[in-house]
Structure 1
Amino acid sequence: MSARGEVFLAALGADAERLHPEILAQLRAPVAVERAEGVFAVAGSPFGRLGALARPVVGPRMLVTRHARDVPFTLITRPGRSATGRATLDTIREFRFPGATQFITDRLTESTVPGLVRNVLGIRGRVELIEACSVTDRGALRMRTRRVALRLRGRRFALRGILGISVDLEDGWDEVHGRRTIDMRARNPLFGTVLEYRGWYRHLDEAEPPTP
């Protein structure tokens, strides 16, 4: 059984001690599979169903084609190890939009470079982000994109300039309500915000992930 946030702890190193005590305690807790529930004040893609046009390229469970407010969501996380022994974290995000439930999946893997993690998105893992982990002045975990690549037919294509995506995510702690907060925005230089979600969540008892 691995620590819930071992991939983040490995990336942050000694800087992890600057995290809010509640967040640090949760990241250090040993779990097998875990479920969290929350509500996004706003979530989705402003492009709506137009986003489906990219699905043949990036594959399933990487995009959402709705945009709404007050969206209930579920996180299923499974920490583990790669074949080379590096810490990993598999996540399923379930967005319960009005009239449709949609999913985004990813796998985070500890990098050999301190401060960085590798994030592979979607079931087919065609989009790869290299993200820098840091701690904000308020003790939140922050992740910001350093590089983006598309993997197709065994080749890796770096996405730069107008083809690039910058992701900025902040995972913090709400002292008043005693719960985690999440704020993520993915932007493209040409089209602006392509995906966003912000809200709160709480960890629940250990649970098995839903059947895909």
Structure 2
Amino acid sequence: MPDVPAPQSPWEAAAGEALSGLHPRLLPYFRAIPAGSVGRGQGVFARAGTPRRWLWPVLWVLGRQGVLFAAWQHDVPFAVTNRPGVDDSGAPLVRAVRTFRFASGERRMVDAVTATPSGLVDHLGHRRRWSADLVAHARDGALTMTSGAMRLRVGRRSVALPAAVSPRVSLTEEFDEAVGRQRVSVTLDAPLVGRIYEYTGHFDYSVEPDDTGGTAS
């Protein structure tokens, strides 16, 4: 009987041996989640959203899609749930739900990271209408990811936003030895406009049995 390849996460499929350079406490987050298990994290964002209220009408629309939110707050409790799966081509996929507990109410950001022959792709929102290629690098025990052009799915077509208006995502996942917790920092910047969204904070993360049957966050 031929050997069956071990399951991989999208990050393992795309980054391969580069993950070996990560801090050991980050590996559960980026390695494959076993079948029947789920990754869960709890923490606090030191800040989340944007104070630039003139952007909020657009963010309100994106908030309904589960992408970004019209809010700005410090010390925001949050939770993240990661579930493994495969996409239509059979490639590894991780579905994530990040629950932000703002003072104004609970908001959920959803995305799905997949691995393609050209690298990682992050599909954003409940219907995955937004997507971006991600380039991942491991350095000094941390994983950094930056996005290429943003794309919008219109019907069956995927349309790349012009470079002049396409936002750029920068993400860093690291382990903070000073506090013994994982730290995430995400920024979203647009040409001419500058910083349009961000969140950063610490959290604890573990992989545990999925007692919800994969239907709850």
TM-score surpassing 0.5? Answer: yes
Provide the residue aligned with 1:155 in structure 2.
157
Shift of 1:29: 6.1
TM-score when scaled to structure 1? 0.87
Aligned residue-pair number: 207
Asked whether the equivalents of residues 48 and 74 of structure 2 are also in contact (C-alpha less than 8 Å), the reply is: yes
TM-score by length of 2: 0.85
1:18 aligns with 2:21: yes
Residues 1:35 and 1:48: Cα distance change in structure 2 (over 3 Å)? farther
Distance 1:131 1:27, change over 3 A: closer
My pick for the range that moved more, 181-190 or 59-68, is 59-68
Q: Provide Cα deviations, 1:125-159, integer angstroms capped at 9, x if missing partner.
A: 111100101112x2111110122111112222211
SS at match of 1:53: helix
Amino acid at match of 1:87: P
What stretches of structure 1 of length at least 5 have no aligned partner?
none
In the TM superposition, residue 12 of structure 1 has moved relative to its aligned partner by 1.0
* Paired amino acid for 1:36: G
Show the counterpart of 1:108: 113
The structural deviation recorded for 1:48 is 4.3
Q: Distance in 2 between matches of 1:110 and 1:179?
A: 27
Contact (CA 8 Å) 2:171, 2:187: kept in 1 or not? yes
Could you tell me how far 1:211 is from its partner in structure 2? 5.3
Q: Following TM superposition, by how much is the alpha carbon of 1:206 offset from its aligned partner in structure 2, in angstroms?
A: 4.4
Structure 1 partner of 2:205: 203
Distance 1:57 1:98 in 2: 19
- Contact in 2 for aligned 1:46/1:193 (Cα 8 Å): no
1:23 match: secondary structure? helix
User: What is the DSSP-based 3-state SS (H/G/I as helix, E as strand, rest coil) of the residue aligned with 2:164?
Assistant: helix
SS in structure 1 of the partner of residue 65 of structure 2:
coil
Matches within 5 A, 1:66-145: 66-113=71-118, 116-136=119-139, 138-145=140-147
Judge which range, 119-128 or 57-66, deviates more. Answer: 57-66
Flag structure 2 segments of 5+ consecutive residues without an equivalent. Answer: 1-5
